Amino acid sequence: MPKTVVITGASDGTGAAAARRLVDGGHHVVVVGRSAAKTKAVADELGVHCFVADFAHLHQVHTLAAQLADHCPRIDVLVNNAGAILGDRHVTADGFEETFQVNYLAPFLLTNLLLDTLLASQALVLQTSSNAARLSARVDLDDLDNARNYSPVRAYGNAKLELVLFTRELHDRYH
C-alpha cells in the first residue's frame, strides 16, 4: 500500500536518496528543502511535489506546516531529516542559537503543528540523528542556546540528543 511520506532536508544527501528509494518503491513523496533550486530539481527528477522552508526562520516552518496541511490530508510518515552542523555561534532572528533551532526547534515545531494530521493518519515520525548525540552531547538545561562554552560539535550533538528524547516522548504519548 503506497504511503504518503514527507521528507525534510530532501534537496540533497540522505534526504534526496531516501526520496528516490521511496518513489521507486511506489510511495507518494513530498520533498522539503531549504534551497528552492535544489529542492525543485529533486522534485522534478522524481515527479513529486515540493515545498521550500529554511528552518533558521520559524515563520517558514509555520508556513510549511500550513502548506503541508493543505496538500496532504494524510501523512503516513514524517521524516525530520533537515539539519546542519554549523560553525560559529549565531543567533537567529527568532532569538535562538542557530544549530539548536535548525536541528531541534524547527523539527519539534513542525511535528507539533502537524500533530493532528499525524495522529489521524497513525503516522510514523522519523528523526535523523547522529552518533554526535551520544559522543558529544552535554545538554545544560540552563543553557539550551549554548551561550556559554559554545562548540559547533557540542551544539549539534545536543540538538540531536534532544531529537532522540523528543522521539521517545512522542512514542510514550502516542504509540
Of the residues 104, 150, 156, 174, only one is catalytic, namely 156
Taking alpha carbons only, the member of 161, 111, 117, 127 closest to residue 141 is 161
Question: Using CA of residue 12, residue 127, residue 174, residue 56, what is the dihedral sign?
Answer: negative
Cβ–Cβ under 8 Å, residues 83 and 103 = yes
Taking alpha carbons only, the member of 26, 64, 61 closest to residue 47 is 26
- For this structure, is 156 an active site residue? yes
Cβ–Cβ under 8 Å, residues 32 and 8 = yes
Q: What is the CA radius of gyration of the chain?
A: 16
| Rounded CA separation 52/36 (Å) | 6
The residues annotated with a catalytic role in the active site are 156
